[in-house]
Amino acid sequence: MPEYPPERIYAAARALLPDLDEPTRRRVEALLAQAEGGAATDLDILTLLTAHEATRERLRALLKGEATRGETLLGYEGLPGGLASTPGQVFVCPEPGCGYRYIIGEAGETPPPCPRHGKPLIPAGEKKER
């Protein structure tokens, strides 16, 4: 029994279609069409796509959720908008030895610079300067 649900295998196979050679692509497309008709073809697709090392590695990365640079995972493009500060988020001065901390009070609030060093604060946990 495969480690991944059939739907995930089918989605990964669809993502790989453009990279496959013509004969393999046609065979995978036929198996995907059968799956849409209700047939369980996930194991056949796995067998076909794991026959070659390069395809096997790409399939493994897609199934594990490791999209490579420039691609999205099975159509997922992420949430719209940028990251904003959230209430309770802690920012610190990047200067080594400085203990200044600022806690965000409202979503989207921008922390002020460090009053001692004038440097912009960074989220707690990021590396400080040396």
Whether 41 contacts 26, CB under 8 Å: no
How many beta carbons lie within 10 A of that of residue 65, not counting itself? 10
Question: Which has the higher per-residue pLDDT, 1 or 95?
Answer: 95
SS3 20: coil
The pLDDT-based confidence of 118 (bands split at 50, 70, 90) is very high
What pLDDT does 28 receive?
93
- CA–CA distance, 123 with 94 (Å, rounded to integer): 9
The mean per-residue pLDDT over the stretch 87-104 comes to: 88
Domain residues of the chain, as ranges? Answer: 6-64, 80-130
pLDDT at 89 over 80: yes
Q: What percent of the chain has pLDDT over 90?
A: 35
